[in-house]
Amino acid sequence: MQVPAGLQPGDIGPSVFVSTIIMGRDYIYVNFDARETGVRSGKFWEERIDPQGLLLRRLLHRNITKKASIPDEWLSKCSEDQRRTLGRFRNVPLEVINAILTHVTDYTSAACFGATHPLLVLPAFERMRDISCTLSGTSQWASDRITLIEKYLPNPALPPHVLTEDEKSEMADLAKADGEPSLWEEWPEAETNYAAPNHGDELRARTENVYYSFNADKADARWTRAYAKKPMKERRTSDYKRVLKFLKLVEEEPFIKIHAGQYALCNETKREYVTAKDVAQFLRRGLGREDVHVTGPFIASSSRWALGDTAGFLAMWDGDNDNGIGVGPWVGDRICVTTLRHMHTMKGTNGDDLQAWTHIGGKDSDLWKRINNAMGDGDPDWMKRY
């Protein structure tokens, strides 16, 4: 499958996505680094490019989601007596403690770890935040090579920069063994591929009445009975009480927070970016109204087009050779969403932290014309229906 004459990889014109709308093929996201697929699996017009903001959530940079502060009341001070109870363990480097915690895959175990000593609360909370990010998909695809592509397209003629040499060899081996398979055919779906068990509501599971249940011999019941037998004064400081408090924080509070600031969709490979405000201005021009509001990376308006939809549009590969192949300018590039302040501290792919960024989201940018042509096919009211 070759790119037609006159259309170069990186080109994206008015006719690129029209064939997608006409043919109505299923499109899916592919993450070449995580070797995952998913987020969407539907026809172009039957499902948003970024349904429920799932892609946007996955693209949030880890530095703005995992570095949120923890309330001081959850980080109690340690006395010298408390430090002595840890023995030599207090001299273990934090990196080693974090390495141990990577093997903990459920909230309760992490909470138990943190409840053993105040010195261990912070690394335990960081691990609980990691688990939350894994389960919700938050930041799981940040800075990865991502493409929106036809779900059942075998051996696509992807631009040369998309695949590594190992991936090219793997695709060649698959072609020899099975004709024309897609490299990602057996890759798991991101929204169901959890390395952790099914958590459910761990707080409810630990606090429900289990005295007369057939599971009364299990740990939940033993914990509850032991806690109930303690004098009221001891209950306040018991390990069990602290574990429940930690679980309550995860279950009832917004545990994953993002930093305040102006946000941008960034292409780390090409050093290009589009801000959330750019998308908001685009919507205001198209909707003819001003009720478009930006809060961090999120955009609220009567249209559901947002920063994640813009990312998917830029990273889309339309592989229909009969109607013309469209190569989105960001196909297979490393993409993330972060603050402008953080963006300017990020090093380039060549390690040069002084490599300039190019703003491609200005009012007169061709990007908005291309989106209008592809999504509306000449109809200016497409935003209202999206």
**Closest by alpha carbon to 9, among 332, 237, 256?**
332
Global pTM value: 0.77
Query: Looking at the structure, do residues 224 and 331 belong to the same domain, yes or no?
Result: no
Q: What is the 3-state secondary structure of 24-50?
A: CCEEEEEECCCCEEEEEEEECCCCCCC
Residue 121 to residues 220, 237, 280, 303, Cα–Cα distance (Å): 22, 15, 40, 43
Rounded distance between C-alpha atoms, residue 246 and residue 123, angstroms: 13
Range of the domain at 209: 64-138+201-252
Task: Report if residue 3 sits inside a domain.
Answer: no
Rounded distance between C-alpha atoms, residue 148 and residue 302, angstroms: 25
Query: Looking at the structure, do residues 53 and 148 belong to the same domain, yes or no?
Result: yes
pLDDT in tens, the chain (386 residues): 333 333 343 333 333 333 333 345 788 899 999 999 988 776 766 678 998 899 999 999 998 887 666 667 666 555 555 556 666 676 788 889 989 999 988 888 898 888 877 778 888 988 988 888 888 889 999 999 999 988 777 666 777 788 899 998 888 888 777 666 678 888 888 876 444 444 545 555 555 544 444 444 455 555 555 555 655 555 555 566 777 778 777 777 776 788 888 999 999 999 999 999 999 999 999 988 778 999 999 999 888 899 999 999 999 987 663 333 367 899 999 999 999 999 999 887 666 666 789 999 999 999 999 898 888 877 878 898 88
Task: Report if residue 9 sits inside a domain.
Answer: no
Task: Report if residue 26 sits inside a domain.
Answer: yes
Task: Report if residue 10 sits inside a domain.
Answer: no
Sign of the dihedral defined by the CA atoms of residues 121, 125, 126, 127, in that order = positive
Rounded distance between C-alpha atoms, residue 380 and residue 370, angstroms: 13
Please tell me the predicted confidence (pLDDT) of residue 7.
35
Task: Report if residue 226 sits inside a domain.
Answer: yes
**Closest by alpha carbon to 15, among 373, 384, 380, 383?**
373
Q: Which of 228, 252, 276 is the last residue of a domain?
A: 252
Query: Looking at the structure, do residues 336 and 276 belong to the same domain, yes or no?
Result: yes
Query: Looking at the structure, do residues 289 and 300 belong to the same domain, yes or no?
Result: yes
**Closest by alpha carbon to 250, among 304, 287, 205?**
205
Query: Looking at the structure, do residues 265 and 344 belong to the same domain, yes or no?
Result: yes
Please tell me the predicted confidence (pLDDT) of residue 328.
85
Task: Report if residue 1 sits inside a domain.
Answer: no
Q: Which of 212, 230, 252 is the last residue of a domain?
A: 252
Report the length, in residues, of the chain: 386
Instruction: Confirm if 39 and 26 have CB atoms less than 8 A apart.
Output: no
| Tokens standing for residue 182 | 């897609």
Rounded distance between C-alpha atoms, residue 165 and residue 253, angstroms: 45
Query: Looking at the structure, do residues 213 and 240 belong to the same domain, yes or no?
Result: yes
**Closest by alpha carbon to 330, among 357, 302, 311, 343?**
311
Please tell me the predicted confidence (pLDDT) of residue 114.
85
What type of residue is 350?
Answer: N
Query: Looking at the structure, do residues 291 and 307 belong to the same domain, yes or no?
Result: yes
- In this structure, the number of other CB atoms found within 10 A of the CB of residue 158 comes to 24
Please tell me the predicted confidence (pLDDT) of residue 384.
87
**Residues 6+ positions from 385 with CB-CB distance below 8 Å:** none
Please tell me the predicted confidence (pLDDT) of residue 242.
73
Query: Looking at the structure, do residues 68 and 95 belong to the same domain, yes or no?
Result: yes
Query: Looking at the structure, do residues 57 and 68 belong to the same domain, yes or no?
Result: no
Query: Looking at the structure, do residues 28 and 153 belong to the same domain, yes or no?
Result: yes
Our count of domains for the chain comes to 2
Task: Report if residue 180 sits inside a domain.
Answer: yes
Query: Looking at the structure, do residues 70 and 53 belong to the same domain, yes or no?
Result: no
Task: Report if residue 4 sits inside a domain.
Answer: no
- In this structure, the number of other CB atoms found within 10 A of the CB of residue 128 comes to 26
Query: Looking at the structure, do residues 329 and 236 belong to the same domain, yes or no?
Result: no
Please tell me the predicted confidence (pLDDT) of residue 343.
94
Tokens 């090409």, residue?
270
Q: Which of 252, 268, 294 is the last residue of a domain?
A: 252
**Residues 6+ positions from 292 with CB-CB distance below 8 Å:** 280, 283, 284, 299, 300, 301
